[in-house]
């Protein structure tokens, strides 16, 4: 008999699983909704002080429960974590990996070793407050009230009664549960896993497939591990909005069913995984100089030359190898720029999670100044070129273009947070920032087979650009996918890359001089 340990997200307790647990039991499974250590809604202040409760407290709670189950048929134990609940679930699974048959993520982030749960909190005000709070003096997070729940997740599908119950039984969330880093042994990666995606609240399976095919390595790892997925067309609290359907999904997940991502690596045509395929143009290798986070690919021409700084997308795992500046795409573009007489600059910025855009923006600003100060670079003639999720980093440069920024390019960019990216700080919204771009030349390469959620952000950006009179040149790749430079090495794709590069370099060489 399968036993489900059901662990809820912030502000809630075992009560949130009541209907799901009843359905599981009716189907012959055992279900144990878990209320983690914390204040009681009926007796505020009972038990440990809120400030003494952290993530490790909740991991200890689950380990004690697991140990109390005995060792009979340990392969039937399924840990289910909703939202924050996935952090103590993973922590406990790391301590008792031999006891766990499967881990199920319900509307939960892809937490990795060292991640605090705060990284996945959507409420920007809470993130800012807890980031500024010292570990020595944490404060609890009061439960949302009314419409504030939307800042923690979509409430779509909740009945008025469910909303009332959610608000009435909610309790404060101890701050340390959100700020303590997750300790995740490598053994957890060997435990079968399933993701339950709530499509009114975040990405669906199609988006995950796009990211696994051409995006960050951690998403490719999902395919390599054989992680299964289910979709529910509802908001962030499916145990309240779709309890019967969620119970059915949990039973199917425990049986090993679900959608599996296409395996990376060689396919039927012998093609390698996207990140391992070569750049679509055969460009000569130019001398490369590495300084700090940047590499400069140098042209044959002497003296200061215009420079194009290529900004990779993400998030990208901190331990990903090769790093983005050594990837085929960035190397290809930088060498192509150098072959045509400009300095091609590549950058490794620290966009490792959706809340890292501020840090990545700082890395980019530092890289720009370092590149401009280099003796082979004409500091008055700089272009910035953004890719994929790095497109959100264009916001600062669109909002206040400096005089030396002669062009800004965007290739299959994300220009507003799509579903599931709600934790991106509000500062990073190119769709809004383009209103201040003025006469800055913009070159946007658009993939015709782009994921719909990404494509919508591009369409919204172009609408805003037209309204505000921004100068956007669109280069279309009608049959190209996200990452077409390695996925779709066709003549159409090659022509688009050459066209975009000519346009950007044309703005660097034809624009009259101005003072920096």
At 393, list the tokens.
């980093």
Kindly state whether residue 105 falls inside one of the protein's structural domains. yes
Strand partners, 173: 141
Mean pLDDT of 482-498: 96
Span 296-349, pLDDT tens digits:
999 998 889 999 999 999 888 888 888 999 999 999 999 999 999 999 999 999
H/E stretch holding 442: strand 442-447
Pairwise CA distance, residues 363 & 377, whole Å: 19
Mean pLDDT of 220-249: 94
Return the percentage of the chain with pLDDT > 70, whole number. 91
At 24, list the tokens.
């599981």
Pairwise CA distance, residues 195 & 389, whole Å: 22
- Of 290, 361, 362, 351, nearest in space to 318 by CA: 351
> Are residues 104 and 55 both part of a single domain?
yes
Last residue of a domain, one of 225, 260, 295: 260
Mean pLDDT of 180-201: 94
The answer to whether residue 512 scores a pLDDT higher than 90 is no
Pairwise CA distance, residues 320 & 317, whole Å: 5
Pairwise CA distance, residues 83 & 154, whole Å: 12
The answer to whether residue 516 scores a pLDDT higher than 50 is no
Kindly state whether residue 171 falls inside one of the protein's structural domains. yes
At 115, list the tokens.
């991640």
C-beta of residue 201 within 8 angstroms of C-beta of residue 419:
yes
User: How many C-beta neighbours within 10 Å does residue 68 have?
Assistant: 7
> Are residues 193 and 331 both part of a single domain?
no
Calculate the CA dihedral of residues 227, 10, 70, 254 and round it to 10 degrees: -30
> Are residues 286 and 255 both part of a single domain?
no
Kindly state whether residue 85 falls inside one of the protein's structural domains. yes
Highest mean pLDDT among 49-58, 207-216, 449-458: 449-458
Q: The sheet that has 294-297: what strands, in order across it?
A: 288-291, 294-297, 343-347, 305-311, 377-387, 405-411, 442-447, 472-477
Confidence tier at 265 by pLDDT (50, 70, 90): low
Kindly state whether residue 230 falls inside one of the protein's structural domains. yes
CATH number at residue 233: 3.40.50.1820
Kindly state whether residue 268 falls inside one of the protein's structural domains. no
Burial 297-335 (b: 16+ CB within 10 A, else e): bbbeeeeebbbbbbbbbbbbbeebeebbbebbbbbbbbb
> Are residues 234 and 319 both part of a single domain?
no
**Residue matched to tokens 């009114």:** 200
> Are residues 111 and 150 both part of a single domain?
yes
> Are residues 207 and 330 both part of a single domain?
no
C-beta of residue 207 within 8 angstroms of C-beta of residue 420:
yes
At 473, list the tokens.
């040149």
137/194: higher pLDDT? 194
Cis check: omega of the bond before 501, within 30 degrees of 0? no
Kindly state whether residue 25 falls inside one of the protein's structural domains. yes
> Are residues 135 and 205 both part of a single domain?
yes
> Are residues 326 and 425 both part of a single domain?
yes
Last residue of a domain, one of 260, 293, 308: 260
> Are residues 254 and 318 both part of a single domain?
no
C-beta of residue 351 within 8 angstroms of C-beta of residue 316:
yes
pLDDT of residue 263: 72
Domain that holds residue 192: 3-260
Confidence tier at 88 by pLDDT (50, 70, 90): very high
Say if strands 294-297 and 288-291 run parallel, antiparallel, or are unpaired. antiparallel
Span 3-18, pLDDT tens digits:
999 999 999 999 999 9
The answer to whether residue 271 scores a pLDDT higher than 60 is no
Helix (H, G, I), strand (E, B) or coil at 246: helix
Span 344-383, pLDDT tens digits:
999 999 998 888 999 999 999 999 999 999 999 999 999 9
Cis check: omega of the bond before 315, within 30 degrees of 0? yes
DSSP H helix total and E strand total for the chain: 17, 15
Span 12-44, pLDDT tens digits:
999 999 999 999 999 999 999 999 998 544 334
pLDDT of residue 272: 46
Q: How far apart are the first and last CA of the chain?
A: 71
> Are residues 282 and 233 both part of a single domain?
no
What pTM did the predictor assign? 0.83
pLDDT of residue 108: 95
The answer to whether residue 183 scores a pLDDT higher than 90 is yes
C-beta of residue 11 within 8 angstroms of C-beta of residue 234:
no
Pairwise CA distance, residues 141 & 159, whole Å: 25
The answer to whether residue 264 scores a pLDDT higher than 50 is yes
Last residue of a domain, one of 260, 294, 325: 260
- Of 407, 400, 488, nearest in space to 214 by CA: 488
Helix (H, G, I), strand (E, B) or coil at 447: strand
Burial 119-147 (b: 16+ CB within 10 A, else e): bbbbbbebbeebeeeeeeebebbebbeee
The rounded mean pLDDT for the chain is 90
- What is the total count of domains within the chain? 2
Burial class (CB in 10 A: 0-12, 13-18, 19+), 44: exposed
C-alpha distances in Å from residue 491, one per residue of 17, 478, 497, 505: 54, 12, 10, 21
Q: Cβ neighbours of residue 497 under 8 Å, at least 6 residues apart?
A: 280, 281, 333, 336, 445, 485
Kindly state whether residue 400 falls inside one of the protein's structural domains. yes
The answer to whether residue 51 scores a pLDDT higher than 80 is no
> Are residues 149 and 288 both part of a single domain?
no
C-beta of residue 229 within 8 angstroms of C-beta of residue 152:
no
Q: What is the DSSP string of 154-203?
A: --TT--HHHHHHHHHH--PBPHHHHHSBP---GGGGGS-EEEEEETTTS-
Q: What is the DSSP string of 330-355?
A: HHHHHHHHHHTTSEEEEE-----SGG
What is the 3-state secondary structure of 12-69? CCHHHHHHHHHHHHHCCCEEEEECCCCCCCCCCCCCCCHHHCCHHHHHHHHHHHHHHC
Dihedral over Cα of 192, 198, 204, 208: its sign: negative
> Are residues 63 and 206 both part of a single domain?
yes
Kindly state whether residue 266 falls inside one of the protein's structural domains. no
The answer to whether residue 269 scores a pLDDT higher than 50 is no
Span 198-234, pLDDT tens digits:
999 988 998 888 878 765 677 778 888 889 999 999 9
Phi, psi (deg, nearest 5) at residue 482: -60, 115
C-beta of residue 229 within 8 angstroms of C-beta of residue 209:
no
225/89: higher pLDDT? 89
């Amino acid at each position: 008999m399968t036993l489900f340990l059901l662990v809820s997200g912030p502000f809630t307790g075992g009560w949130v699983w009541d209907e799901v647990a009843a359905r599981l039991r009716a189907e012959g499974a055992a279900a144990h909704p878990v209320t983690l250590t914390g204040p009681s809604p009926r007796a505020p202040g009972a038990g440990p002080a809120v400030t003494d409760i952290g993530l490790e407290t909740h991991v200890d709670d689950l380990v004690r429960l697991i140990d109390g189950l005995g060792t009979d048929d340990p392969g039937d134990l399924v840990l289910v974590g909703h939202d924050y609940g996935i952090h103590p679930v993973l922590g406990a699974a790391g301590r008792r990996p031999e006891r766990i048959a499967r881990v199920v993520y319900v509307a939960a982030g892809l937490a990795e070793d060292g991640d605090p749960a705060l990284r996945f909190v959507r409420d920007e005000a809470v993130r800012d407050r807890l980031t500024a709070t010292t570990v020595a003096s944490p404060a609890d997070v009061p439960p949302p009230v009314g419409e504030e729940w939307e800042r923690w997740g979509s409430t779509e599908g909740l009945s008025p009664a469910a909303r009332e119950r959610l608000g009435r039984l909610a309790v404060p969330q101890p701050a340390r549960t959100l700020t303590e880093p997750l300790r995740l042994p490598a053994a957890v990666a060997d435990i079968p896993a399933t993701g339950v995606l709530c499509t009114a609240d975040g990405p669906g399976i199609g988006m995950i497939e796009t990211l696994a095919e051409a995006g960050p390595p951690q998403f490719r790892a999902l395919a390599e591990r054989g992680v299964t997925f289910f979709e529910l067309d509802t908001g962030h609290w499916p145990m309240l909005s779709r309890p019967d359907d969620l119970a059915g999904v949990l039973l199917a997940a425990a049986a090993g069913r679900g959608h599996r991502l296409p395996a990376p690596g060689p396919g039927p045509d012998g093609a390698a995984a996207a990140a391992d395929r070569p750049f679509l143009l055969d460009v000569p290798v130019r001398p490369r100089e590495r300084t700090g986070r940047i590499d400069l690919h140098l042209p044959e021409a002497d003296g200061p030359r215009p420079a194009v700084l290529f900004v990779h997308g993400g998030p990208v795992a901190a331990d990903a190898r090769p790093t983005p500046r050594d990837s085929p795409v960035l190397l290809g573009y930088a060498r192509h720029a150098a072959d045509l007489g400009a300095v091609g600059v590549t950058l490794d910025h620290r966009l490792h999670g959706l809340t890292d855009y501020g840090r990545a923006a700082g890395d980019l600003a530092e890289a720009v100044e370092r590149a401009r100060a280099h003796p082979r670079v004409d500091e008055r003639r700089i272009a910035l070129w953004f890719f994929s999720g790095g497109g959100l980093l264009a916001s600062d440069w669109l909002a206040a273009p400096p005089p030396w920024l002669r062009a800004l390019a965007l290739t299959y960019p994300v220009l507003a947070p799509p579903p599931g990216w709600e934790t991106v700080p509000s500062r990073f919204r190119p769709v809004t920032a383009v209103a201040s771009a003025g006469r800055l030349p913009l070159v946007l390469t658009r993939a015709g087979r782009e994921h719909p959620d990404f494509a919508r952000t591009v369409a919204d950006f172009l609408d805003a650009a037209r309204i505000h009179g921004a100068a956007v040149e669109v280069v279309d790749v009608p049959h190209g996918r996200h990452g077409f430079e390695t996925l779709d090495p066709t003549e159409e794709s090659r022509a688009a890359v050459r066209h975009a590069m000519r346009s950007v370099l044309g703005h660097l060489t034809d624009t009259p001089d101005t003072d920096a």
